[in-house]
Structure 1
């Protein structure tokens, strides 16, 4: 079974949001469907996109599981963004959360070693 994913995040200021997501994701968008959207391919057939929609901005919660959470968090820090919060669960799973300029939460999670 093949699974594709498009996870969307509403933002107020397109340029500010795009710049922030470039720093968090470490790459320029993969493509631009139109003047109010930018799309990043975060893994094969899995995309995260921003879209201008001021009335709904700031309410998204997304979590992306990565193989090396420490490396991901370190790379984001090198690009000038620090986490808003960190959590560790009893089963060893960890999550690091960031908030974009609108307050949307983007989390990165890591499984126990």
Structure 2
């Protein structure tokens, strides 16, 4: 099984640039003129698709073993979370909003 999580966007080049800041140097490819795919792990992909009518209505959460390292690397690339949460059980979640308002959450277990 492969997982593809979609972010509907209004401007594909802008979304690709934003995704590069968030995801960093990961395998990526453009299967056609309206999609761009980032491969984040074995069989795990997030992709931007040019779908203006649906842009800003997507939410994706990635739960990582190394969330703190991921957040530090994104900050080094100039991207900081729009908000952060800590749940009662100690789980942390950083929320990034792309230029269209789609939410990409980065979660990690309690320290």
SS in 2 for 1:102: coil
* Match 1:25 to one of 23, 26, 38: 23
* Pairing 1:12–2:7 present: no
In 2: Cα distance, 1:63 partner to 1:102 partner: 17
Alignment correspondent of 1:60: 58
Equivalenced residue count is 111
Which aligned pairs between 1:1-113 and structure 2 lie closer than 5 A? 3-27=1-25, 30-113=28-111
Whether the 8 Å contact between 1:87 and 1:94 is mirrored in structure 2 is yes
C-alpha distance in structure 2 between counterparts of 1:29 and 1:57, whole Å: 24
Give me the TM-score of the superposition, normalised by structure 1. Answer: 0.93
Residue 4 of structure 1, CA deviation = 1.7
2:31 and 2:13 mapped to 1: Cα distance? 15
Q: Is the 8 A contact 1:29 1:38 kept in 2?
A: no
Q: Is the 8 A contact 1:39 1:47 kept in 2?
A: yes
* Aligned-pair CA distance for 1:88: 0.2
Shift of 1:29: 5.2
Counterparts of 1:74 and 1:43, CA distance in 2: 19
Give structure 1 stretches of 5+ with no counterpart: none
CA distance in 2, matches of 1:8, 1:29: 16
